[in-house]
Amino acid sequence: MNTQPEFVDALIVGQGLAGSLLAWELVRRHRRVLIIDPPVGDADRGASRVAGGIVSPLSGRRFTRLAELESLIGSATDIYGEIEEAFRFIVFQECAIWRLLNDDLEVAQLAKRQADPAYAPYLGERHAPGTIGHGLADPRGSVCVRGARVDLPRLLDRLRQFFQDTARLQEEALDYADLQLRGDGLVQWKHVRTRQVIFCEGFRVRQNPWFHWAPVRPSKGEILTVGIRRSLPEGVLNAGKWLIPLGEGRYRLGATYRRDDNDPNPTEAGRRELLDAFRNLFLDPPEVEILSHEAGVRPGKTDHHPVIGRHPAHPQLALFNGLGSRGALLAPHYARLLADNLEKGSPIPRPADAQYWHERQRTATGGD
């Protein structure tokens, strides 16, 4: 049996997408890493294990594109590609995302974006109303967005297995009282000493005694896995709520969005909302069989940048959080940025910089 090390370069709290990709990046750089995360069967499984894993280059009703989109896609392709190569499986796949246009605002926004060359790699032509077929309702037409999908449960399970096999994962929840900031600059957790603790605990950061001020707001999401007997266009369907094909007539139907709700349990209201949205996708809705119903809490941040970096007063503590609704696209890039910052002091862009957010919070509340 592998035994736990007594000294590590980094102790990572949480094995969601943030903790997993950061750990992967540090291991790749030959750093000694230990992750702490509760057993997978625990009631709250974290957002990453229930997420749809859609990577959409353009989001929302306005087809908004992030300024640093090419870097995000580049890092995602690199890191997911490295993991696929290491474990010889596929988790990252390019796919069509069929946007069913809901109203005139979306039609007008689409026309604006199509006239902008920066959007050309990601947007197809608009299809006329009534042409998508398969019994789908497309009264304003549809458009194909070129995106991708990450099989997050598979990715996390495989990485967890790897971290466990190499004595890099301890299955338990961190009790913050067990962390001791030592006089020599190291941190002690039980019998393990480390140079750096990095908190990747998703929305639970709000309970963190050092980072409770981080600009992270919980937003609950629910998702159904359903069986449908109807052939649909290849790829993801998105009309606000989405359908992701899993094969053999099974789909993931998601997701609800409830800001400031941090209850990780599925609800009857969530189930109804998803089924109503499902019926609205079709002119003649097919029968649907519910195979499972899950919920998770996204670590949301209003400006679509995560929050990363060292604590302003305790540099041996750092944060990787705020991935919001776009973790699959953002996490690889920001895992690299954070690793570079921790190792070489490379700068963090201001909207993602934990120290910037701490200062803002301090000024707003007049405290420290």
Ligand X SMILES: Cc1cc2nc3c(=O)[nH]c(=O)nc-3n(C[C@H](O)[C@H](O)[C@H](O)COP(=O)(O)OP(=O)(O)OC[C@H]3O[C@@H](n4cnc5c(N)ncnc54)[C@H](O)[C@@H]3O)c2cc1C
Residues at the site binding ligand X, with contacts judged by CB under 6 A: 13-19, 36-38, 46-48, 50-54, 173-174, 200-202, 204, 221, 223, 254-255, 296, 298-299, 321, 323-329
Instruction: Return the structure tokens found at 146.
Output: 């070129």
Distance in Å, CB of 104 to ligand X, minimum: 26
Q: What angle do CA 7, 199, 2 make, to 5 degrees?
A: 40
Cβ atoms of 278 and 241 within 8 Å: the answer is yes
Radius of gyration of the chain (CA): 21
Nearer to ligand X among residue 26 and residue 126 (C-beta): 26
Nearer to ligand X among residue 235 and residue 254 (C-beta): 254
Distance in Å, CB of 189 to ligand X, minimum: 11
Instruction: Return the structure tokens found at 168.
Output: 């890099």
Which pairing describes strands 187-189 and 64-65: parallel, antiparallel, or unpaired? unpaired
Distance in Å, CB of 194 to ligand X, minimum: 15
Distance in Å, CB of 115 to ligand X, minimum: 28
Distance in Å, CB of 108 to ligand X, minimum: 26
Which pairing describes strands 192-199 and 317-321: parallel, antiparallel, or unpaired? parallel
Instruction: Return the structure tokens found at 218.
Output: 């919980």
Distance in Å, CB of 23 to ligand X, minimum: 11
**Residue that has been written with the tokens 């495989």 in this structure:** 158
Nearer to ligand X among residue 116 and residue 263 (C-beta): 263
Residues 6+ apart with CB under 8 A from 325: 59, 219, 257, 298, 300
Estimate the crossing angle of helix 69-87 against helix 17-28, to 10 degrees: 70
Q: Is 340 helix (H, G, I), strand (E, B) or coil?
A: helix
Distance in Å, CB of 16 to ligand X, minimum: 2
Candidates 37, 33, 66, 35; CA nearest to 49 is: 37
Can you name the residues that pair with 200 across neighbouring β-strands? none
Candidates 136, 114, 117, 112; CA nearest to 125 is: 114
Distance in Å, CB of 318 to ligand X, minimum: 14
The alpha carbon of residue 297 and the mean position of all alpha carbons in its chain are separated, in whole angstroms, by 11
Nearer to ligand X among residue 16 and residue 141 (C-beta): 16
Distance in Å, CB of 15 to ligand X, minimum: 5
Nearer to ligand X among residue 113 and residue 252 (C-beta): 252
How deeply is 154 buried, as exposed, middle or buried, from its count of CB atoms within 10 A (0-12, 13-18, 19+)?
middle
Nearer to ligand X among residue 224 and residue 228 (C-beta): 224
Residue nearest to ligand X (CB): 16
Nearer to ligand X among residue 36 and residue 317 (C-beta): 36
Nearer to ligand X among residue 142 and residue 321 (C-beta): 321
Nearer to ligand X among residue 126 and residue 148 (C-beta): 148
Task: Determine the Cα–Cα distance for residues 243 and 237; give it in Å rounded to an integer.
Answer: 5
Distance in Å, CB of 167 to ligand X, minimum: 17
String of DSSP letters for 18-83? HHHHHHHHHHHTT--EEEEE--TTSS---STTT---EE-SEETTTTEE-TTHHHHHHHHHHHHHHH
Nearer to ligand X among residue 131 and residue 265 (C-beta): 265
